[in-house]
Amino acid sequence: MIDKMYDGIIFDLDGTMWDTRKPICEAWNIILEKHPQIQRDTIVENDLNACMGLPMYDIAARLFPDEKEEVRNALMDELCAFENDYLAERGGILYPELADTLYALGRKYSLYIVSNCQDGYIESFLTAHLMSDFFKDTECWGRTFLSKGESNRILMERNNLKNPVYVGDTEGDARSAKDAGIDFIYAAYGFGEVSEDRYVAAVDSFSELKCILL
């Protein structure tokens, strides 16, 4: 158990609360079939592994390196718009005991989401899995077009948070917490690897958050 008093918990989304690699690949490949001029193979889940946690235009640069910036960014906007609707209808893979753990944590803390995703992506998660009631507020790169650390700060200021903790699964998440001046809990079951000196605690499952925060 962490011997600190937090006034909120801010969660990352991908690799922390759900895994959407499979439906994202499905959605993106549907759109790519409409653009035969784009030179790349079918997108598979392994292609997304190195992209997790990055802002969307950085992902576009990795997936479509041979395209001009304005072309790949416009394509990414189209992919993301379709993806949002696709995920809102089909959902993703939730990590075990997600709802039960959020309910338990929500009895003590205000809960939030900050992600590097496009605008509408968090809403797809909330809609598909009926999660809206758990979270007080959200922020994302698609609204701020700033680093995740700055998005954390914006959400903290908007909600008058003085000492929240951030839960995420990548080195970028750890950096965003440090940039916002808050503690970081490492979701070690997710997509990334984080050095031990970057977090105050690590969990091997989402439900383990109850053990260290309650």
Helix residue ranges, H only, 107-181: 121-128, 141-144, 148-158, 171-180
Q: In what order do the strands lie in the sheet with 183-187?
A: 137-140, 111-115, 9-11, 165-168, 183-187, 201-203
Burial of 34 (0-12, 13-18, 19+ CB in 10 A): exposed
39 phi and psi angles, rounded to 5 deg: -90, 95
Average confidence (pLDDT) over 92-100: 98
pLDDT, tens only, 21-37: 999 999 999 999 999 99
- What is the widest separation between alpha-carbon atoms in the chain? 56
CA 6 to chain centroid, in Å, comes to 21
Report the percentage of the chain scoring pLDDT > 70: 100
Instruction: Please state the rounded mean pLDDT for residues 166-193.
Output: 97
Specify burial of residue 80 (Cβ count, 10 A radius: 0-12, 13-18, 19+): buried
pLDDT value at position 44? 96
With pLDDT > 90 as the criterion, what percentage of the chain qualifies? 95
pTM: 0.95
